[in-house]
Chain A
Amino acid sequence: MLPDATETRPIEGVGAFVLRLRGLILKELRQTFRDKRMIGLLMIAPMIQLLVLGHAVNLDVDHVPTLLADEDRTAESRAYLDGLTAGDAFRRVGVVDSAQVALSEVSAGRVPLAVVVPRGFAADLGAQRPTRVQVLVDGGDSNRAIVAQNAVATYTLRRSQALIAARGLPAGAALAPVRIETRVFYNPSMNSRIYFVPGVAATLLLVVTLVVTAMGLAREKESGTLEQILVTPLGGATLFLGKTLPYALIGLIDLGLVLGVGTWVFSVPLRGPLGVVFFAGGLYLMTLLGVGLLIGALARTQQQALVAAFFLIMPAILLSGFATPVENMPTWLEPVTRLNPVRPFVEVMRGVLLRGAGARDLAPQLVTLAGMGLVVFSGAAAVLRRRLG
């Protein structure tokens, strides 16, 4: 047997901290990049999802087949309907002379949209009385229905304004809601994909980082390796950092990839400073990784961790305002949506990318993200130390 003459004097202080952290990070990255499924989950799945979702979810109104019902049969009603179908949004499939016919066509599902100009339209306008136009929509495709309805409303609003202006009258009270206008303002071509990509990026980061950190810690428990780590002189803080930094790095890389795909494939503009997006991304990741580790620390098995992660992910996505506007949710949910880190991050991304906003404009969102990040991150560190230390 070989003589054992080596003298072992462990490094201490900052040197040891750096050494341990390096060891943990290298190990974590090695394991991740050796596991094909992990690479798929972390790098490839987000790209594919972005491409698929980006193409599948189409909120644009584009050549919607539209039946026109002209009961008034005047020059005014014809001008109104011609103007409606002049653009790309609506495609005229026919003109009928009764609302009854239009209604039966839409209810039978033969046409998704009908616009009815009732008798008396021209007379009302001439007498400067408020008048009505009826929109019949097949609600089966609810997104399309809402957007088509909004588009008709927007067109109508523009026309009324033109009429008012032509008569030299001050703007009336019967204007359509302002919110349509804001939306159109930042996305003038009504291209919903541009609006959609930031939301997808935020939710992809959410899914990837939360699941991976939660499962990672649970796996160490399940496979017994945590037991071995915990009898080394490793401190709780070092373990915490070692378990989050590698995934923060991967998360930021993912963010870059998603933004890249967004610009190349979906022509998302990059109007503002990218640094702000990545800074916000870092803060956002602090919250996600903290929650991930919290789940990992409390779960006994990887299975439990996965279930718990999705239990949080689903409402986080639904309540983020990324697909359904937060304004449309019940008021009692309002406080819940404020605890959701997805919401401010989506707002930052939309602000920077679409509007060219900078850190100053987005200060409220950045402060919210930083606050959440610090609270969750330090809370998770404390729990981890208590549960495992």
Chain B
Amino acid sequence: MSDVLTSSPALEARGLVRRFGRTVAVSDLSLSIAPGELYGLVGPDGAGKTTALRLLVGLLTPDGGEARVAGAVSHAAGGALRASLGYMPQQYSLYGDLSIDENLRFFGDLFGLSSTNFRERVAHLLGITQLTRFRDRRADALSGGMYKKLALACALLHRPRALVLDEPTNGVDPVSRRELWELLYTLVDEGLAVLLATPYMDEAARCHRVGLLQGGRLIAEDAPAALVRAFEDLAYFVTAADRDAAEAALHDLPGVRALSPHGPGLRVIVAAADAEAFRRRFASADMRWHLEPTAPDFEDVFLMRSIDAE
């Protein structure tokens, strides 16, 4: 059995389809995550991230295709599969009226940990999440960051091989967010396979590999750096205090594919073939704004891939 487990991916989706009434929430989704890999599923709200994750962990039955955890089909999940899987839902999912200790105790019992084993795991997990001091505090009295750390600890109690996280940093302050990420890297280094869903591009850029999800479809998938390298357009930054006026003026220039507000100005994506014409027209049209080339980033990649996909 261990041969089968080690040779198969930790998490796998093959042609997954899931509908809710007329909405196709996930459409022909395939992906595969290896042990020790950190995979980010990125997309805006409603893209189908949560549905994809719930299909993978076996909470939903697919209308088509198949999801597997360590080689076993998710929705037919037996206890063995669930013992190798940790899942942290998007919304609150622990008992607010129970303390940190009581929540851990409860999930420890459900996972069938012996008391020695449980004590060791709790000591370790509370240590790495720095929650030891708050053991007696009720979960609903924790800050967003501490709550997510507790949820992570609960999902890790039984030493899963695969961890599935739905927007783990949602509602978390920047410091805790950084701590959570450090924790994730450590876990991945220890060989855990991690799949996380996020709407944030900066977070996606920190994953080993990302899948861009839009309207339930995977529109691109690769390492973030590779996706940026493969970016074919050019990116410019226009400094403009009056952004609306600048946007209106730039909108019709040749080669302009996308305009998005950014800090003190606009980010402009221009098709490489039209870059010459764009720069010439910008100069001749007597624009009062300052234009400078800038390095394309992951956000530009996602934006353009989405436009291309439509």
- B88-130 interface mask toward A, CB cutoff 8 Å, 1 = contact, 0 = none? 0101111111100010011111111110010011001001100
Q: Is the CB of A20 within 8 A of B109?
A: yes
Q: Is the CB of B128 within 8 A of A10?
A: no
Residues of B within 8 A of A24 (CB): 106, 109-110
Q: Is the CB of B110 within 8 A of A227?
A: no
Q: Is the CB of A227 within 8 A of B128?
A: no
Which segment, of A26-34, A163-171, A209-217, A277-285, faces chain B? A26-34
Question: Of A10, A15, A224, which one neighbours B111 at CB under 8 angstroms?
Answer: A10
Residues of A within 8 A of B106 (CB): 23-24, 26-27
Q: Is the CB of B87 within 8 A of A31?
A: no
Residues of A within 8 A of B94 (CB): 225, 228
Instruction: Tell me, rounded to whole Å, the shortest Cβ–Cβ distance linking B144 to chain A.
Output: 15
Which segment, of B6-14, B77-85, B234-242, B258-266, faces chain A? B77-85
CA distance A235 to B91 in the complex (A): 23
Is residue A129 within 8 Å, beta carbon to beta carbon, of the partner chain?
no
Question: Of A2, A26, A35, which one neighbours B127 at CB under 8 angstroms?
Answer: A2
Residues of A within 8 A of B109 (CB): 19-20, 22-24, 26
CA distance A4 to B156 in the complex (A): 12
Given A11-B114, A23-B110: A231 in contact with B85 (beta carbons within 8 A): yes
Which residue of chain B has the shortest Cβ distance to A3 in the bound complex? B124
- B177-200 interface mask toward A, CB cutoff 8 Å, 1 = contact, 0 = none? 000000000100010000000000
Residues of A within 8 A of B107 (CB): 228, 232
Is residue B57 within 8 Å, beta carbon to beta carbon, of the partner chain?
yes
Q: Is the CB of B110 within 8 A of A224?
A: no
Which residue of chain B has the shortest Cβ distance to A234 in the bound complex? B110
CA distance A16 to B117 in the complex (A): 14
Q: Is the CB of B89 within 8 A of A6?
A: no
Q: Is the CB of B128 within 8 A of A1?
A: yes
Is residue B59 within 8 Å, beta carbon to beta carbon, of the partner chain?
yes
CA distance A6 to B190 in the complex (A): 13
Which residue of chain A has the shortest Cβ distance to B86 in the bound complex? A231
Is residue B152 within 8 Å, beta carbon to beta carbon, of the partner chain?
no
Is residue B148 within 8 Å, beta carbon to beta carbon, of the partner chain?
no
Residues of A within 8 A of B124 (CB): 2, 4, 6
Instruction: Tell me, rounded to whole Å, the shortest Cβ–Cβ distance linking A319 to chain B.
Output: 37
Is residue B19 within 8 Å, beta carbon to beta carbon, of the partner chain?
no
Is residue B217 within 8 Å, beta carbon to beta carbon, of the partner chain?
no
Question: Of B82, B95, B105, B154, which one neighbours A233 at CB under 8 angstroms?
Answer: B82
CA distance A12 to B111 in the complex (A): 10
Residues of B within 8 A of A2 (CB): 124, 127-128
Is residue B159 within 8 Å, beta carbon to beta carbon, of the partner chain?
yes
- B124-164 interface mask toward A, CB cutoff 8 Å, 1 = contact, 0 = none? 10011000000000000000000000000010001100000
Instruction: Tell me, rounded to whole Å, the shortest Cβ–Cβ distance linking A17 to chain B.
Output: 9
CA distance A345 to B108 in the complex (A): 40
CA distance A26 to B99 in the complex (A): 13
Is residue A101 within 8 Å, beta carbon to beta carbon, of the partner chain?
no
CA distance A24 to B110 in the complex (A): 8
A: number of interface residues (CB 8 Å): 34
Is residue B255 within 8 Å, beta carbon to beta carbon, of the partner chain?
no
Is residue A8 within 8 Å, beta carbon to beta carbon, of the partner chain?
yes
Q: Is the CB of B112 within 8 A of A12?
A: yes
CA distance A113 to B78 in the complex (A): 73
Q: Is the CB of B112 within 8 A of A11?
A: yes
CA distance A225 to B93 in the complex (A): 4
Q: Is the CB of B97 within 8 A of A35?
A: yes
CA distance A1 to B127 in the complex (A): 8
Is residue B224 within 8 Å, beta carbon to beta carbon, of the partner chain?
no
Is residue A314 within 8 Å, beta carbon to beta carbon, of the partner chain?
no
Is residue B58 within 8 Å, beta carbon to beta carbon, of the partner chain?
yes
Q: Is the CB of B117 within 8 A of A8?
A: yes
- Residues of A281-325 at the interface with B, using a CB-CB cut-off of 8 Å, are none
CA distance A11 to B158 in the complex (A): 11
Q: Is the CB of B111 within 8 A of A232?
A: yes
Residues of A within 8 A of B89 (CB): 224, 227-228
CA distance A6 to B117 in the complex (A): 8
Residue of A10, A16, A19, A231 with most partner-chain B CB within 10 A: A231
CA distance A4 to B125 in the complex (A): 9
Residues of A within 8 A of B190 (CB): 4
Q: Is the CB of A233 within 8 A of B83?
A: yes
Given A27-B102, A30-B102: A228 in contact with B112 (beta carbons within 8 A): no
- B61-85 interface mask toward A, CB cutoff 8 Å, 1 = contact, 0 = none? 0000000000000000011101101
Residues of B within 8 A of A19 (CB): 109, 112
Is residue A223 within 8 Å, beta carbon to beta carbon, of the partner chain?
yes
- A50-67 interface mask toward B, CB cutoff 8 Å, 1 = contact, 0 = none? 000000000000000000
18 contacts between A and B (CB under 8 A): A2-B128, A6-B117, A6-B124, A6-B159, A8-B113, A8-B117, A10-B112, A11-B113, A15-B112, A19-B109, A20-B109, A22-B109, A30-B98, A31-B95, A31-B98, A224-B91, A229-B110, A231-B82
Supplied contacts A2-B124, A23-B110, A227-B93, 20 more A-B pairs, CB within 8 Å: A1-B128, A1-B186, A6-B121, A10-B111, A12-B112, A16-B112, A24-B106, A26-B106, A27-B106, A30-B102, A224-B92, A224-B93, A228-B93, A228-B94, A231-B57, A231-B87, A233-B79, A233-B83, A233-B111, A234-B110
List 7 tightest A-B contacts by C-beta distance, closest first: A23-B109, A233-B79, A16-B112, A228-B93, A10-B112, A8-B159, A232-B110
